Structure 1
Amino acid sequence: MFNIGQAAAFSGVSAKMIRYYEQIGLIPQAARSTAGYRTYSTQDAHSLRFIRRARDLGFPVEQIAELLTLWNDRDRASADVKAVALAHVAGLRTRIAELEAMAMTLEHLAAHCHGNDRPDCPIIADLAEQADAAATPGTVAPHRAPRFGTDGPVASRRRAAK
């Protein structure tokens, strides 16, 4: 039997996360000692290691629950496990593509930013333009000059600092 600290050390999962996994039902509620302390079996500790490895690979909690069920089912088909893994890979590839697109957008904006002491900045302008478009669903925000200049908030702060 393990107490929560020992289970955490064995599995690499923090005590806080162990309690959270219990709360959401990813692992069963721990048994309690006569003093009321949580106690974990060897199987519980191995399940926590399994969860830790799955989290390291980026699986979301829902898929980890599915994988735990499959792991505990000795009659499972490996095709079921493979399907969960490949679905996760597809999600990762989508996320990678989204992150690459974000990086390219930011690189493009940064390349067009003068990076000097003037307040106009295409990065800020893009963020403001996209925020305006998001505030009004179904419309495209018109392209306009940045609102920074001699009477904008940055200029006011600079004047006050001088």
Structure 2
Amino acid sequence: MFTIGKLADAAGTTTDTIRFYEREGLLRPAGRSGSSYRLYDQEAVTRLRFVRHAQACGFTLAEVRDLLALRQREGACCGDVRTQALEKQRQLQAQIRTLQAMSATLDHLIADCTEVTSPIADCPIVAAFDAALTTQGFPDGPQGAAQARRGSMTLKARRVPG
């Protein structure tokens, strides 16, 4: 049996993390000592490592909870977990595409900002940030920044394929 501190050491985490996972229903002590210390068994170490690894792969705590529930469900199979992993991978790929689009937009804005000693009022980056964005897109790079400087910014939504 492990105390909370020993469990934290065994799993490479902190006692605060363990307490948080307990509050979230992802982990529970196997019992209590005579001094009312939480006590954990080897299953808690395995479960804690599972939670941490799933999170490192991008799963949210709610998704981890679902994966843990699958382990307990009668008739569950590897295909059920694979389905969830494929969905997570699809979500991560969409996030990557979104981040790449954001980075490309910043590349254009930075490239358009050539007069580094200009007053802030003339900064194309600030002008682009001041411009209204659609909920689905970004300014059209240097063209959008140039239009923003001229005061006639019209933004086109750049859809990220889902």
**Would you call these one fold, judging by a TM-score over 0.5?**
yes
Shift in alpha-carbon separation, 1:144–1:101, aligned structure 2, 3 A: closer
Structure 2: distance between partners of 1:146 and 1:31: 69
| Residues 11 and 45, structure 2, Cα contact 8 Å, conserved in 1 | yes
- Which position in structure 2 is the counterpart of 1:122? 124
Structure 2 matches for 1:143-154, cutoff 5 A?
Answer: 144-145=148-149
Identity of aligned residues (%): 36
- Which position in structure 2 is the counterpart of 1:58? 58
How far apart are residue 9 of structure 1 and its match? 1.3
Structure 2 matches for 1:8-157, cutoff 5 A?
Answer: 8-29=8-29, 31-73=31-73, 75-119=75-119, 120-130=122-132, 144-145=148-149
How far apart are residue 30 of structure 1 and its match? 5.6
Structure number with larger C-alpha Rg: 1
Q: Mark the runs of 5 or more structure 1 residues left unpaired by the alignment.
A: 135-142, 148-162
How far apart are residue 65 of structure 1 and its match? 0.8
After superposition, the C-alpha distances for 1:35-80 in whole angstroms (9 at most, x for unaligned) are 1222111111110011111111111111111111223447421110
Q: Mark the runs of 5 or more structure 2 residues left unpaired by the alignment.
A: 136-146, 152-162
| Residues 121 and 146, structure 1, Cα contact 8 Å, conserved in 2 | no
2:132 is paired with a residue whose SS is helix
RMSD: 2.3
Structure 2: distance between partners of 1:54 and 1:89: 12
Amino acid aligned to 2:118: R
Shift in alpha-carbon separation, 1:73–1:10, aligned structure 2, 3 A: farther
Amino acid aligned to 2:11: S
Amino acid aligned to 2:130: A
How far apart are residue 31 of structure 1 and its match? 2.6
Structure 1: distance between partners of 2:70 and 2:105: 41
How far apart are residue 130 of structure 1 and its match? 3.2
1:117 is paired with a residue whose SS is coil
TM-score (norm 1): 0.76
How far apart are residue 144 of structure 1 and its match? 5.0
Shift in alpha-carbon separation, 1:46–1:110, aligned structure 2, 3 A: same
Amino acid aligned to 2:86: L
How far apart are residue 115 of structure 1 and its match? 4.7
TM-score (norm 2): 0.76
| Alignment size in residue pairs | 138
2:131 is paired with a residue whose SS is helix
Shift in alpha-carbon separation, 1:125–1:146, aligned structure 2, 3 A: farther
